[in-house]
Structure formats: C-alpha cells, structure tokens
C-alpha cells in the first residue's frame, strides 16, 4: 500500500495539475463556459487512455517506431515552447489558431499537459521495477486527484476575470518557456552520443 501511495504521489507531482490550471484556462477562454467541464472530462479521459496504452505497450511502440525517450522529451519540449511563445505573444486567432468550434482536441490539454513526456518517461522506467498492477492503481489514483483539481479551472475562470486570466496566461507562458527548454536540455544531457558514433 505504501508503495502504491509513493508512486501515485510521484505521478501526481509530474502531472502538475495546479501548474496546468492556467494553461487549461487559457485554452478554454474562447469556449462557451457551459462546455468547459465536458471538454476537460473528455481531454482527461483521452489522457488516461493514452497513459494506459503507454503503460502496457509503450516500450513495444517505441521499439517498433525506433523512438528513444530523448526523442519524446525533445518533441514534447518543442511543443511546449511553441505554446509558451503564443501565450506570451497572443495572436488574433487564439492560442492554437483556427479550430473546430474553437475547442481543443487532444493537443495540448490531454497531451502533453496531462499525459506529457515526463510522465511517459517515468512510466517506462517504473515498468522495469514495479508490477503493472501496482503502476495501474497508482497512476489511476494520481489521475483522479489531478482530474478533480483541473475541473476546478472553470470556477477560477470566473474569479480571475479577463484581465487576471491574461496576466496569468503571460506568466504561465514565461514559466513554460523555461520548462520546455529544461525538458530539451535534460534529454540532450541524457542522450548517449556513442550510440550514433
């Protein structure tokens, strides 16, 4: 039991739902407030499915595609960097350009916000030292707690208002820039250049 709790805490911290709230608010600010919870639930469900698929088949998928964990981290960092720049310097088309009904789909809320490269990398490492049942329970628990927190994003939207949301958006953009660069640096540092030599 203690093992499951410890692993769940690790997953929860990596998912960083509190840090993701400004991103969720920013992405959903042009969407009808009545649709917020439905969209968040949908994206959280997609993220959970992605995490489960990766838990049980991640290594096989990466081996089949010839992808390394460094490649996943760098690509996730690039996506976050682009998102961060658009948050700091918003355009008239919104954060992610034109979309159907102005609603996000999979990117960036499900992936990489919730099911990000960091969670996937830790999952891959833990499958070598923990049972799939333990990881499934811990990951589900962490996801449930993160989901409850992220579903509180809409009430926060009403409390902050447009100006407060704009300020949080730009602040979060600056933080995301640093996070994305760090993510890419970590991947580069862990890359074994002898493999390509």
Q: Is residue 197 part of a domain?
A: no
147 vs 84, which has greater pLDDT? 147
pLDDT of res. 197: 52
pLDDT for 100 beyond 50 = no
Q: What is the pLDDT of residues 56-83, one digit of tens each?
A: 987 787 788 887 777 777 876 787 788 7
Most confident segment among 35-44, 95-104, 158-167, 186-195: 35-44
**What is the rounded average pLDDT for all residues in the chain?**
81
76 vs 101, which has greater pLDDT? 76
Q: Is residue 19 part of a domain?
A: yes
196 vs 126, which has greater pLDDT? 126
Q: What is the pLDDT of residues 118-175, one digit of tens each?
A: 788 778 778 878 899 999 999 999 999 999 989 987 787 677 776 776 787 788 778 7
Task: Please compute the mean of the pLDDT values over residues 100-110 and round it to a whole number.
Answer: 77
Q: Is residue 23 part of a domain?
A: yes
Q: Is 40 helix (H, G, I), strand (E, B) or coil?
A: helix
Q: Is residue 140 part of a domain?
A: yes
Q: Is residue 196 part of a domain?
A: no
Q: Is residue 122 part of a domain?
A: yes
Q: Is 140 exposed, middle or buried (0-12, 13-18, 19+ CB in 10 A)?
A: middle
Q: Residues near 109 by Cβ (< 8 Å), separated by ≥ 6?
A: 23, 24, 27, 39, 40, 43, 47
Q: Is residue 130 part of a domain?
A: yes
pLDDT of res. 50: 94
Q: What pTM value is reported for the model? A: 0.69
Single out the residue of 42, 47, 43, 69 nearest to residue 58, CA to CA: 69
pLDDT for 41 beyond 90 = yes
Task: Please compute the mean of the pLDDT values over residues 27-46 and round it to a whole number.
Answer: 89
Q: Quick one: the chain helix, strand, coil %, rounded to 5?
A: 80, 0, 20
Total domains present in the chain: 1
Q: Which domain holds residue 104?
A: 2-190
Q: Residue 29's pLDDT band (boundaries 50, 70, 90)?
A: confident
Are 80 and 180 in contact by the 8 Å Cβ rule? The answer is yes
Are 36 and 28 in contact by the 8 Å Cβ rule? The answer is yes
* Burial track 115-133 (b if 16+ CB lie within 10 A, e otherwise): bbbbbbbbbbebbeeeeee
Q: Is residue 68 part of a domain?
A: yes
Task: Please compute the mean of the pLDDT values over residues 31-38 and round it to a whole number.
Answer: 87
């Amino acid at each position: 039991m203690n093992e499951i709790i410890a692993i769940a805490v690790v997953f929860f911290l990596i998912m960083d739902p509190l840090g993701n709230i400004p991103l969720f608010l920013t992405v959903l600010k042009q969407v009808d407030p009545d649709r917020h919870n439905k969209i968040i639930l949908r994206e959280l469900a997609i993220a959970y499915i992605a995490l489960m698929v990766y838990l049980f088949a991640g290594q096989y998928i990466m081996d089949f595609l010839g992808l390394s964990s460094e490649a996943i981290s760098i690509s996730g960092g690039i996506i976050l960097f682009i998102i961060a720049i658009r948050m700091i310097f918003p355009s008239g088309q919104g954060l992610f350009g034109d979309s159907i009904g102005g609603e996000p789909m999979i990117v960036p809320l499900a992936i990489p916000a919730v099911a990000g490269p960091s969670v996937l990398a830790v999952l891959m490492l833990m499958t070598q030292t923990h049972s799939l049942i333990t990881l499934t329970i811990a990951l589900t628990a962490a996801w449930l707690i993160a989901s409850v927190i992220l579903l509180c994003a809409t009430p926060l939207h009403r409390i902050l208002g447009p100006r407060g949301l704009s300020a949080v958006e730009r602040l979060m953009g600056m933080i995301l820039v640093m996070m994305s660069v760090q993510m890419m640096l970590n991947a580069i540092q862990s890359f074994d250049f002898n493999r390509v030599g």
